[in-house]
Structure 1
Amino acid sequence: MSVPPDGGTTVTRSRAPSRAPGVLAVCAAVLALLGVGVRTGVGPQQVVDAQVSEAVYVGDDRSRGLDLLLEVLTAPGLSWFRIVVAVPVLIWLVRRRAWRTVLWVLAAAVLVAPVTAALKEFFGRVRPAFDDGGARYDSLSFPSGHSSGIATLVAVGLLLAWPSLAPGARQVWTALGVLLVVLVGLTRMWLGVHYLSDVLAGWSPGLGWTLLAAVLMGVLPLRPRELP
């Protein structure tokens, strides 16, 4: 990772086109399409959500051990987990005087929660009505906050580490990151607190907000250019 004279940190190097605009467009499209389905009650989406949720939900009679395991597996999507992981990264960046990247990590890690909360209020979807499942939660369901949180955490980690990783290591860490994102999403349905479309939509603001903040703060290039 290189540190330009102004104190920012560029997370990519060499002459290569930025994929940020395309990824941002995909994230916005996924969130918009699923959101329209939620707001208008599109039949096929509602049917798939109900069937998948019913099939995946492990039930309210799960053992205490299984319940504890699911709570542990879902924890990486929580705000406090994201902040705890970000602290040593922020200390490292401050020591390098990479101030723009510090602001980006803070914006991505902290603000994704209120961004997701605002989307929940806009779409207004209630939780799945399972016994001892999502119906007991006062918060809304779409999009999933755990899903957006873990997508943000993985995206920040990969972007920061990318320049230092060999091509093979990039593939390995990307695969592991995707597996973690999918696992946390599955735990939300196993626990009966989210529909499938909630999880899928949650990944969009997580990844999209992380990339948008990186572009706006100059950490990630919006267009192809020669990077230091």
Structure 2
Amino acid sequence: MSAFQKILKVRRHYNKWVADQTLEDYALRFTARKGRHMSISRVGKTALGAASFLALEGLAAAVTLSYGFTNTVMAMLAVCIVLFITGLPIAYYSAKHGLDIDLLTRGAGFGYLGSTLTSLIYASFTFIFFAIEAAILASALKALFGIPLAIGYLLCAVAVIPIVTHGITAISRFQVGTHNLWVALQLAAIVVVLWYEFDSLQGWTEFSPGM
């Protein structure tokens, strides 16, 4: 005789919600099979968005000013190596078996509580990071077009809603469509710096906090 198990109403709603594959929230539930058939090129371009955050340039500059160019580069290389070694097996088996954050945390022995805390940390970090990005973009809009910061914050916050609400497919399409423009703008910024500040490159590569 099987033990009686009480299923709360909230849990029933949650199970029904996560079973809806149209939401494409694959970070929190089992990855639908239709979500595993994107080309490597498309996945790569979508993942490249992780390297396009404006805050990354600011963080790198702040670390360079605090610890020097050499220490910053070595620290970045060390972190990249650690992330690659630890992330490769996780990414491989997650892609192979369609795992998600929820299943990984539960399978690692943290249970539903660990899964919930992981989701909370992930969501909190996302909100904070998006707020930083919006602040940077709003400042750029004010500098270029004279748009007040309050309106700039609102525009930056509202602009992403139509994209993120339609899942990774919509995000992938948007990033693929704007990929060439993004690359051109990134290269243009580097060209401008090299053109106008070429003499400062040596001072940058040799910079240390004591200088």
**Per the shorter chain, which TM-score range?**
0.3 to 0.5
Larger helix percent: 2
What TM-score, normalized by structure 2, do the two folds share?
0.34
Higher relative contact order (CA 8 A, sep 6+): 1
Structure with the greater alpha carbon radius of gyration: 2
